[in-house]
Amino acid sequence: MRLSYMKLKRKLFSPAIFGFLLSVFISGEVYAASENEKVVNLYSSRHYGVDNELFELFKKQSGIKVNLLQIKEASQMIERIKSEGKKSPADVIITVDIGNAWKAENADLFQPIKTDLLQKSVPSNLVEENFSWYAITLRGRAIVYDKTKIKENEIQNYEDLSNEKFKGKVLARTSNHVYNQSLVASLIQANGEEKTKIWCEKFTNNLARKPEGGDIDQMKAIYNGKGEIAIVNTYYYARLLKSEDPEDQKVVKNLGIIFPNQANRGMHINASIAGIAKYAPNKENGIKLIEFLVSKDAQEILAKMNNEYPVRTDVEWTNVLKNMGKPKFDTVTLSKVGENTPKAIMILDQVGWR
């Protein structure tokens, strides 16, 4: 048990110490404010330009300045806030994927908040069960394939990717990445640990190469003939569809996209989440920021600029997402999926998905 625990700990936070020191070095003292200035201090592991545009809009509407500390890796951000303890200036924490949300929650970094506006705006399955965090954007974990080599009806579910007929055809990120950890956590929720471990073993045997790169790298690898199938986030596929770069158009030309498990539970979703830090010095300003991020105007901007699905049901999808199809999403409570993260990491280690 001791060995398993240490392996799990390394998996969860292996880059943390280096990341913490690096983030301290690059961030400086960005939180000083005059007595009359209204501020909210935001720690975020999102890295999209549209977020900065939203923060400027928030300042114009509310008069509250967003002091943004952007830290690339969620594990680095978590370790920094833990090390700051009660003296942490963080008011709002934003991170990507339910696995990272669980890690932050497990580190006791949040305090619960519950407002009428948040309750009305965000569906209950996208809210932590104790109201510690709220989803602010969604992206589906889809399957892409080479239309010249794979028939569309050959793959309908994530579970189909374990079929031995796909041996040497599947491409994937490493198991260290939270996207894969969360997908496996969702499979545990749906199918149980034993069946999920068998699936992981067979899936790993079907890999065309050692896992490497990001989602767009997997799609490029399909174009270059290194594999025929990959699991990618929908917004990466949409990014290629919208791109005016001829090279991107070559990559996406023969790619098809499948929304898995449409006849049963629906496609697994990743979420960016936001919550109030446990020792937030500007708690009320932080609540206003999160409420703004789930407002209709902000949700429309996020969807349009970053090809993400809105969490609000009254916000229209962008044309590129509509043209990709109307997927059914898995409606399991995301916090329940997050709780399976340690089990998912253990299984990924055991089957050798590196």
Check residue 12 and give its pLDDT: 47
Residues 159-183: what's their mean pLDDT?
A: 96
Average pLDDT over all residues of the chain: 91
Instruction: Determine how many CB atoms are found less than 10 A away from the CB of residue 114.
Output: 11
Residue ranges of the binding site: 47, 235-236
Structure confidence at residue 9 as a pLDDT band (50, 70, 90): very low
Residue ranges of the binding site for Fe cation: 47, 235-236
d(CA 84, CA 183): 31
**Whole-model pTM?**
0.88
Catalogue all structural domains in the chain, each as residue range(s) with its CATH number: 13-138+270-319 (3.40.190.10), 140-267+344-351 (3.40.190.10)
- Alpha-carbon separation of residue 277 from 13, 34, 213, 271 (angstroms): 19, 22, 32, 18
Check residue 316 and give its pLDDT: 93
Check residue 120 and give its pLDDT: 96
Check residue 30 and give its pLDDT: 47
Instruction: Determine how many CB atoms are found less than 10 A away from the CB of residue 120.
Output: 9
More confident residue, 28 or 250: 250
Structure confidence at residue 33 as a pLDDT band (50, 70, 90): low
Cα radius of gyration rounded to whole Å, the chain? 20
d(CA 178, CA 13): 12
> In the predicted model, is pLDDT for residue 23 greater than 60?
no
Residues 276-288: what's their mean pLDDT?
A: 98
> Any bridge partners for residue 256, and if so which?
145
Nearest one of 68, 67, 107, 80 to 23, comparing CA atoms:
80
Q: Convert the pLDDT of each residue in 47-93 to its tens digit.
A: 888 899 999 999 999 999 999 999 989 999 999 999 999 999 999 99
Residues 105-134: what's their mean pLDDT?
A: 97
Tokens representing 243 are 């791109």
Check residue 48 and give its pLDDT: 85
Q: What is the amino acid identity at position 97?
A: D
Percent of the chain whose predicted confidence (pLDDT) is above 90: 86
Residues 260-289: what's their mean pLDDT?
A: 97
3-state secondary structure at position 220? helix
